[in-house]
Structure 1
Amino acid sequence: MISRRLLLTGATSGAALTIAGCTLQPRDDDTPPRLPPNEHRIVASRLTADLVLPPGPDGALATSRALLAAATAVVVIGPGAGTTTPTPATPTPTAKPARTATPAASPSAQPARPDPHLTATAAQVARDLGLPFFAWSPGLIAELDRLQTRTVIAYDAEGLDFGSREVIPGPAEAAEVSLPGLPATPPGSDGLSFAHGEIAAPTATTLAAAGLRPLGIPVPHPGADLTSTAHVRAHQGPVVAIGEGFGDDQQFATQVKVTRTAPEFPGGGVVPFPGRHMIALYGHPSTPALGMMGEQPPAAAVARLTKLVDQYKPLITDDEVMGAFEIITTVASAQAGGDGDYSHETPIEQLMPWIEAAEKAGIYVVLDLQPGRTDFLTQAKRYEELLRRPRVGLALDPEWRLRPDGRHLVSIGQVGVDEVNRVGTWLADLVQAHELPPKVLILHQFQTRMITERARLDTTRPEVQYLVHVDGQGSQGDKQNTWAAIRANLPARTWLGWKNFEDEDAPMLTPAQTVAQVRPTPQFISYQ
């Protein structure tokens, strides 16, 4: 049994003490809380704003600074021990089934360090005692000063200088520690928290010490699904996010606001994916030659799509199924046109009846760009008015992105990833500025060369969800080969789409065959 020394070292320099038995409350100012001198306490700070915390082991310091006002005892692990043992986020009840297309996982930010078992032991002892847990770093001592830390339970900390603090060698179990006030009762927290991905043990344990146990969500957005959205709408206080992909505090605060106010998708949540699949008619309003959508007026297209969606609903039972229109908004042209770009820009007034019919029926709309000799961003900006609508996304079709001297149907076009990233950044900024739900940004592709350096696709912005749409046509064997080639090495947080061609596939798959044969099940299935 490790017992308290007869004479404790005093509180660190500048820390104020008070008599035992005082009432301790969370604080939202910079005044250090008054603590009893003979008992260990953990005091939470009162949250005043939404914030994002890093998930790695160094995130424990950021978590402490944001959420703790005082911690008179802490657990510390030295630099030679394993500090990256992950703590998985608690899965939500609506977590995505394995058979469904999921975005590629982000690589771990830091390589594993030696002796992860010691990290696990230290983390468990810290949890059992209700204490924050830190990996040694240059900024740690300053944080211990601020927390008024008097006792350090140290693992693999030989040679580290903790000043005049009491240092206790880390035990194998918390039961070996006997110190007044421990185990500490977790302080009450007025915050709601979410986690995406894995959280390093020091950060997860420090969150718990502050009274927060994050709810795991499948994508980095508080409106990720039915459960998370319900929590946000029932909680009017600050919200905390832990993980990569949430953006900065301001971006996250906007996400929280949108989650509280935006209409939810079928099945819940304000984020398109995961949790639902979109079945789409593809084409142009003026002609049936470019796809099924143009074979009838808007109201009839809604009715046709509704019947198609109803065929998929019994086949995809773990997720919601909803309809979508993918409208060819700028059409590749054999003629240069007045602006010389070999692309016809459809007037907004011609698109509006289709968008209004879709919105009335709960159908998502994607504006597809075939830019010819101009660039995707120039064309996207022409339709900013439409993209400000909550359920209107964007698609880029590199097949029709020409070189300065190119002509359609002479060669297949391509686009560099930097141009794609510029569009994604612009669209994300638009979503942020106008407080919109995240938008789908589709990238059509049936050859690997069509998007050069695709590995550098920037999918870090939470305002945009990228989807690579595999447009292979012909025999089903050829289509499966294309599917496998385009799926390979998808960038992180990228979803998948599949197209059924009415005239070019041999044969075109039925809905049942599409679900059975195209694995994993695409988030977006379109018909041309």
Structure 2
Amino acid sequence: MKNIFRLLLVIFAASITTTSAQVTVKDTTLKVAVKDTTLKPTLDTARYDSLMARMGNGDKRWPVKNAPYPRPGAILPFNRIVAYYGNMYSKNMGVLGQYEPVEMRRRLMAEVKAWQAADTLTPVIPALHYICVTAQADAGANKLYNLRMPFSQIDKAIEMAKPINALVFLDIQVGYSTVQTELPRLEKYLKMPNVHFGIDPEFSMKEGSVPGKRIGTFDAADINYVSDYLSKLCIKYNLPPKIFVVHRFTKRMVTNYQDIKLRDNVQFVMDMDGWGPPELKKGTYKYFVQGEPVQFTGFKLFYKNDIKNAPNRMLTPKEVLSLKPAPLYIQYQ
């Protein structure tokens, strides 16, 4: 015991350096590494694969091969989204701007209930799809043939979504502008976990036409810029995957689709945006969405335009769900 005590004194003395001015004690504390045992969210890949196969409805092109698994927190394919589309300044741009918030939410939730009944295996989430940059027939002060909504209106859309826990999509119609110019302006909103994004090639006037006179276009390069930007936002702010919707009803609206890059924290939806009788809509979906597979699909239903000419009617949820692949994003205008 005495020998042990002397040894401890020697060790302690060796750890002290003395001068006439100060005494310095070296730190001989033992450092112990402790592993982080916090449970991190994981993706159920077996369930994901099963749901993706179900989505394909027997079409062997779907799901696409070699697509990355999404990061944990992904909404698709675990859920279906049913959205109301429009702008609060215009009753003609969609159902979102046609009713007061309480009535609009009531109608939206009735549609959510109908889709839930049509497919009881897939939970349905409501969403507001708000056009925050609208194409214009006049050049305007910025000479870009678009009108950017004030942030107060975007704030209003986000507040309108809260009572029903709805997702919010911010949609842009760039006119003479570009996604590279318009997207960064919205970062303050897109860093919110429940806010997602959409672009409309119809109003991207690369050839200099006035919006509404010709149908516009986006290339895979434009789409890849957006998905890369959204991906970096997810990393920067530690967000679950973002959903990115691209509207389409002609071949030229999206060029070089095969070059679209898929990312693990961005879920890409090609949304069939055409209106008309059931067979025309199904044909548009077949050739421009089903026939050019990317990742997920959407389908738009028009309360007015789909029934414009008698005896036209709107497709039912069951009919839409019979499409190959089955759309996981449904939009009402």
- Please indicate the TM-score interval, normalised by the length of the shorter structure: 0.7 to 0.9
CA, structure 1 residues 90+509, in 2 after alignment: closer, same or farther (shift >3 Å)?
Answer: closer
Of 507, 516, 526, the residue aligned with 2:313 is 507
2:85 is paired with a residue whose SS is strand
- Structure scoring higher RCO (CA < 8 A, sep ≥ 6) equals 2
- Provide the rounded CA distance (Å) in 2 between the counterparts of 1:391 and 1:93: 21
User: Quick one: which of 77, 93, 100 aligns to 2:55?
Assistant: 100
1:319 CA drift (Å)? 1.1
Paired letter, 1:466:
F
Structure (1/2) with the larger helix percentage: 2
- Does residue 271 (structure 1) correspond to residue 83 (structure 2)? The answer is no
Structure 1 residue 448: deviation in Å? 1.4
Report matched runs for 1:350-365 at 5 Å.
350-365=153-168
1:87-486 equivalence runs, <5 A: 91-92=46-47, 95-96=50-51, 98-101=53-56, 104-107=63-66, 219-221=69-71, 223=72, 270-403=73-206, 405-459=208-262, 461-486=263-288
CA distance in 1 between partners of 2:160 and 2:66 (Å): 42
SS in 2 for 1:314: helix
Percent identity reads 28
Q: 1:495 aligns with which of 296, 300, 323?
A: 296
CA–CA distance in structure 1, aligned partners of residues 45 and 268 of structure 2: 25
Q: Distance in 2 between matches of 1:289 and 1:419?
A: 28
Three-state SS of the structure 1 residue aligned to 2:305 is: coil
Q: Which amino acid aligns with 1:100?
A: M
User: 2:219, 2:45 → 1: CA distance?
Assistant: 38
The answer to whether the 8 Å contact 1:285/1:351 transfers is no
Q: TM-score, normalised by structure 1?
A: 0.51
Query: Contact between 2:53 and 2:63, CA under 8 Å: does it hold in 1?
Result: no
Letter in 2 for 1:464: V
CA–CA distance in structure 2, aligned partners of residues 369 and 93 of structure 1? 30
Question: For 1:443, what is the secondary structure of its paired residue?
Answer: strand
Conserved in 1, the CA contact under 8 Å of 2:217 and 2:252? yes
Q: Secondary structure at the match of 2:129?
A: strand
- C-alpha distance in structure 1 between counterparts of 2:38 and 2:116, whole Å: 41
Deviations 1:165-193 (A, max 9, x none): xxxxxxxxxxxxxxxxxxxxxxxxxxxxx
CA distance in 2, matches of 1:363, 1:107: 31
The aligned counterpart of 1:140 is none
Q: How far has the Cα of 1:475 moved from its partner?
A: 1.8
In 1, the alpha carbon distance for the partners of 2:36 and 2:99 equals 55
| Aligned-pair CA distance for 1:106 | 2.4
Contact map agreement 2:320 2:327 (CA 8 A) in 1: no
| Deviation by residue 1:98-125 (Cα, 9 ceiling, x = unmatched) | 44259633259xxxxxxxxxxxxxxxxx
The Cα of 1:384 is off from its aligned counterpart by 1.1
Deviation of the 1:499 alpha carbon: 0.5
- Given that residues 415 and 452 in structure 1 are in contact (C-alpha distance below 8 angstroms), is that contact kept between their aligned partners in structure 2? yes
Q: Secondary structure at the match of 2:274?
A: coil
Distance 1:48 1:509 in 2: 51
Gap regions ≥5 residues in structure 1: 1-28, 30-45, 51-88, 109-195, 197-218, 224-269
Aligned match of 1:142: none
- What is residue 328 of structure 2 aligned with on the other side? 523
CA deviations over 1:372-423 (Å, ceiling 9, x no partner): 0010121111111111110110001000001262211221100121121111
- Length, aligned pairs only: 288
In the alignment, the residues of structure 2 paired with residue 326 and residue 366 of structure 1 have an alpha-carbon distance, to the nearest angstrom, of: 4
Work out whether residues 257 and 292 of structure 2, in 8 Å CA contact, stay in contact via their aligned partners in 1. Answer: no
Deviation at 1:356, TM superposition (A): 1.7
- Aligned equivalents of 2:70, 2:317: Cα separation in 1: 31
Take 2:63 and 2:323, find their aligned partners in 1: how far apart are those partners?
17
Looking at structure 1, the residues matched to 53 and 277 of structure 2 have their Cα atoms a distance apart, in angstroms, of 27
Distance 1:433 1:285, change over 3 A: same
Partner AA of 1:526 in structure 2? Q
Answer whether contact 2:139 2:146 (CA < 8 A) is retained: yes
In 2, the alpha carbon distance for the partners of 1:520 and 1:105 equals 11
Q: Structure 2: how far apart are the matches of 1:521 and 1:428?
A: 25
Instruction: Give 2:299's aligned amino acid.
Output: W
SS at match of 1:518: coil
Distance change in 2, residues 1:398/1:100 (3 Å): same
Retained in 2: the 8 A contact 1:101–1:495? no
TM-score by length of 2: 0.80
2:20 aligns with none
Distance in 1 (alpha carbons) for counterparts of 2:137 and 2:48: 52
Closer, same or farther in 2 for the Cα pair 1:314/1:332, shift >3 Å? same
CA contact (8 A) 1:326 1:365 kept: yes
| Separation in structure 2 between the aligned mates of residue 48 and residue 278 of structure 1, nearest angstrom | 35
